Amino acid sequence: MPRRGNQMGRGIPSTTYPCAPGGPNDYAFITAQQQMWPAFTAAIGRPELAGDARFATEEARWENRAALNAIIEDGPARGPSTRSCASSVLPGCRAAPARDTGEVLADPHLKAREMIVDVDYPTRGTYQTVGCPIKLSDSPVEVNRPPQLGEHTEALFGRALRGRSRRGQAVARGRRRLTLHSAEAP
């Protein structure tokens, strides 16, 4: 299968489109399925495209994707900003500005919803990571840092490490790795 970049399947439009002012991060992801097509054409100010035989069906839009992508890139994609580019396509269609990692991590809404959380890590300091997307009032989730190398070894394998076997002593000294499928008794 040939590579298609951000193209989602064979739906057109269903990819990222450049927006004004034309910087390296000025893109919006726009998609409009068959039932969204009339609303999409109206939203971009080209309602006549809904009746154009070249674009009447998803298959026809795929076959004529170069022409349709050029129309979209010359229309809503050249609006005053990426955010207005995405919002100009609504209502009735899915669209969103494409954001870089820094923009996502700084988003106040994502922080307020605890989708971006700060985690303290002993050797690294505070860093941001993704929170839990499932929010249940009676079951809050706390995002914790990952363990450091060897931090939980004693808790997980303590008995084997403290055992009298040569293998347990070698693991304790760091000369052998402990395997969970070992038949040797601790």
∠85-89-94 over CA atoms, to 5°? 105
- What is the rounded distance in angstroms from the CA atom of residue 26 to the CA atom of residue 97? 8
For 158, left (φ over 0), alpha (ψ -120 to 50), or beta? alpha
Numbered ranges of CATH 3.30.1540.10 in the chain: 14-98
**pLDDT tens, 122-169?**
988 999 999 999 989 899 899 999 888 888 887 877 766 666 566 656
**pLDDT tens, 134-146?**
989 899 899 999 8
Q: What top-level class would CATH report for the domain 14-98?
A: alpha beta
What pTM, to 2 d.p., does this model score? 0.50
- What is the rounded distance in angstroms from the CA atom of residue 86 to the CA atom of residue 26? 11
Question: Of 132, 136, 99, 100, whose CA–CA distance to 116 is shortest?
Answer: 132
